[in-house]
Amino acid sequence: MMINYKSVARIAALATLLAAPLAAQAGTADQGTFRVLVGGREVGTEQFNIAQTGSGNGAVLLATGRVSLRLPTGSLELTPRLRATGVGADPVHYEVDVGGDSPQRIAGNIGGGRVSAKIVTASGEQLREYVASSGALVLDEGVAHHYYFLAQRLHNGRVPVIIPRENRQVIATVSSRGEESVQVGGASARLFHLVVQPQGGEEHHVWVDSLNRIIRVQVPSRQYEAIRTELPR
């Protein structure tokens, strides 16, 4: 049987072209590890991965992580999982397993202007429901990689913020302090410095690169800092 190599080449080229859009729509938006310090002392790490499939209105982002800390008040383990969709990466589901000395599990669906959450502890289950404004973001306390979703959305302005382990929403003001040089893993990088001020809460300082990947987070009032072990490529 004779093989038409030109036809084979054309078919292979066509297959590559058809597959290219699919490959471009799926991949890792960011991943890495933060060193976590409290009072200048290293107390643990936060590992995370943010994956995206699809694009535009069909985009789906899944952020997973593991926070392992040894604090003066006891150990703390967090395993968060956030699912967001669409152009604005709007959160639709969030769950977190809290380990350590006070274990619990929180799972909540977000939509229709509400958060419907189930909280499971050693003493039983509770159901909570509270307001979630249009455009609200999830920022769980002590989870640095969640700021990726905020930085992608805005560098200046106001945004509703869901704090899942406190079962409430607040309005946060975001402001930019421009570019600064930051040392990360022995290398220097020019990063954008954002200040996030939740209403009635503490200032959070966040440094992001040109792709809005989170490199450093500080909460001065708590002497908390999370900084990447190395710069993302």
The number of beta carbons lying within 10 Å of the beta carbon of residue 106 is 21
Q: Which residues of the chain have pLDDT under 50?
A: 1-25
Q: What is the CATH number of the domain that holds 37?
A: 2.50.20
Q: What angle do CA 132, 26, 105 make, to 5 degrees?
A: 40
Torsion, Cα of 62, 115, 155, 53 (10° steps): 20
User: Residue 101: what pLDDT?
Assistant: 76
CA distance 209 to 179: 9
Task: Identify the three-state secondary structure at position 25.
Answer: coil
| Number of compact structural domains in the chain | 1
User: Residue 129: what pLDDT?
Assistant: 96
- For residues 63 and 82, the answer to whether their CB atoms sit within 8 Å is yes
Torsion, Cα of 32, 144, 35, 180 (10° steps): 90
Nearest to 79 by CA among 69, 91, 65: 65
Q: Is residue 18 one of the residues assigned to a domain?
A: no
Task: Identify the three-state secondary structure at position 95.
Answer: strand
Amino acid at 163: I
Q: Is residue 5 one of the residues assigned to a domain?
A: no
User: Residue 25: what pLDDT?
Assistant: 46
Q: Is residue 149 one of the residues assigned to a domain?
A: yes
Q: Is residue 233 one of the residues assigned to a domain?
A: no
Q: Is residue 77 one of the residues assigned to a domain?
A: yes
Q: Which helix (H) or strand (E) holds 48?
A: strand 41-53
Structural domain boundaries, residue 176: 26-228
Q: Is residue 131 one of the residues assigned to a domain?
A: yes
For residue 62, how many C-alpha atoms fall within 13 Å in the half-sphere facing its CB?
6
Q: Is residue 14 one of the residues assigned to a domain?
A: no
Task: Identify the three-state secondary structure at position 185.
Answer: coil
Q: Is residue 219 one of the residues assigned to a domain?
A: yes
CA distance 79 to 48: 10
User: Residue 18: what pLDDT?
Assistant: 41
Nearest to 21 by CA among 57, 59, 55, 61: 55
